[in-house]
């Protein structure tokens, strides 16, 4: 027989003892009062999402962020993705993580692999990446080939630093560029979140062809946004690229700001 926890959680689990009923009532009363004051338990997730991506840029994996904040990895991934709202508790826990590289440990190698490949798509040779990052070219080559699923956080940070320095500059090697293209690798602009293993590359950068509108209805996009659809879902619904949706949302925001 389970022990009564004298809490709202116990009440929600079906317990009807007086202490649990009282805890549930007090929670509802506090929630109602907060709403009257304009204080909501769920808040906009944008600031927390930005913080997660800044942590990732410093070498954190989502699992490490989850461990440090005490939040499930699925919740961290949701906030980092398209989740529009999050609880104040989750936001505070994630944003309490100091914006600095994790001290030790192995992290997911997806972002490192994509960064090296993206630089090679631009024409940067492995020796160029070695010079910029300090990571031995043979090590970089094995990660570009996808032979490892994890990488030490220190090496990932070194590659990420080189990537930030080189990603806006075309490389000098046509041979490297051709090799990367032949292997179907993608450049920096293809990735919405280069560290997210679930992120798919946006590879269609060409002008719209038959059935793929170059200009989409901004009002229709906003209607779908209000309905809770993500950019990817809207792109599928409208038969356009995800970037077309992002451009539409930027246009709408600019109009609202100018109004």
CATH number at residue 47: 1.10.260
Tell whether 198 is covered by a domain: no
> Do 185 and 110 share a structural domain?
yes
pLDDT for position 84: 87
> Do 161 and 186 share a structural domain?
yes
The C-alpha atoms of residue 166 and residue 162 are separated, in whole angstroms, by: 6
User: Above 50 in pLDDT, residue 114?
Assistant: yes
pLDDT for position 212: 44
pLDDT for position 118: 93
pTM over 0.85: no
Phi-psi group of 234: left, alpha or beta (phi > 0 → left; psi -120 to 50 → alpha; rest → beta): alpha
> Do 120 and 90 share a structural domain?
no
Facing residues of 152 across strands? 106
Segment 104-129 shows an average pLDDT of: 89
> Do 119 and 80 share a structural domain?
no
> Do 181 and 224 share a structural domain?
no
User: Above 80 in pLDDT, residue 245?
Assistant: yes
The C-alpha atoms of residue 105 and residue 83 are separated, in whole angstroms, by: 28
What share of the chain has pLDDT > 90, as a percent? 20
Count structural domains, the chain.
4
Last residue of a domain, one of 175, 190, 205: 190
pLDDT for position 145: 93
Tell whether 101 is covered by a domain: no
> Do 59 and 133 share a structural domain?
no
> Do 135 and 110 share a structural domain?
yes
> Do 186 and 110 share a structural domain?
yes
Domain that holds residue 14: 1-39
- 244 or 138, which is more confident: 138
> Do 249 and 173 share a structural domain?
no
> Do 134 and 178 share a structural domain?
yes
Q: Report helix, strand or coil for 116.
A: helix
Tell whether 139 is covered by a domain: yes
> Do 54 and 31 share a structural domain?
no
Tell whether 18 is covered by a domain: yes
Nearest Cα to Cα of residue 75 among 96, 57, 48, 97: 48
Tell whether 250 is covered by a domain: yes
Tell whether 70 is covered by a domain: yes
User: Above 80 in pLDDT, residue 215?
Assistant: no
Cα 56 to Cα 62, 160, 170, 201, 213: the distances in Å are: 7, 10, 25, 18, 34
Tell whether 146 is covered by a domain: yes
Tell whether 113 is covered by a domain: yes
The C-alpha atoms of residue 71 and residue 52 are separated, in whole angstroms, by: 13
> pLDDT tens, 14-62?
888 888 888 877 877 776 776 676 655 678 899 999 999 888 877 788 8
- 69 band by pLDDT with thresholds 50, 70 and 90: confident
Nearest Cα to Cα of residue 139 among 111, 121, 112: 112
């Amino acid at each position: 027989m389970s022990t009564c926890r004298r809490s709202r959680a116990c009440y929600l689990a079906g317990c009807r003892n007086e202490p649990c009923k009282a805890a549930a009532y007090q929670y509802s009363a506090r929630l109602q009062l907060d709403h009257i004051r304009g204080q909501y338990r769920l808040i906009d997730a944008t600031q927390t999402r930005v913080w997660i991506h800044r942590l990732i840029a410093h070498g954190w994996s989502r699992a490490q962020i989850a461990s440090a904040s005490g939040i499930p990895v699925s919740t961290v991934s949701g906030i980092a993705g398209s989740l529009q709202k999050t609880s104040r508790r989750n936001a505070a826990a994630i944003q309490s993580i100091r914006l600095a590289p994790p001290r030790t440990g192995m992290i997911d190698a997806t972002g490192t692999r994509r960064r090296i490949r993206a630089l090679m798509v631009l024409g940067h040779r492995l020796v160029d990446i070695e010079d910029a990052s300090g990571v031995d070219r043979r090590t970089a080559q094995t990660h570009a080939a996808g032979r490892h699923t994890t990488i030490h956080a220190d090496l990932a940070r070194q590659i990420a630093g080189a990537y930030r320095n080189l990603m806006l500059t075309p490389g000098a090697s046509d041979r490297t560029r051709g090799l990367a293209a032949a292997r179907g690798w993608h450049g920096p602009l293809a990735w919405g979140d280069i560290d997210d293993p679930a992120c798919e590359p946006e590879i269609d950068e060409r002008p719209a062809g038959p059935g793929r509108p170059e200009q989409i209805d901004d009002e229709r996009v906003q209607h779908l946004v209000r309905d809770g659809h993500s950019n990817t879902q809207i792109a599928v619904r409208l038969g356009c690229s995800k970037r077309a949706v992002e451009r539409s949302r930027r246009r709408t925001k600019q109009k609202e700001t100018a109004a």
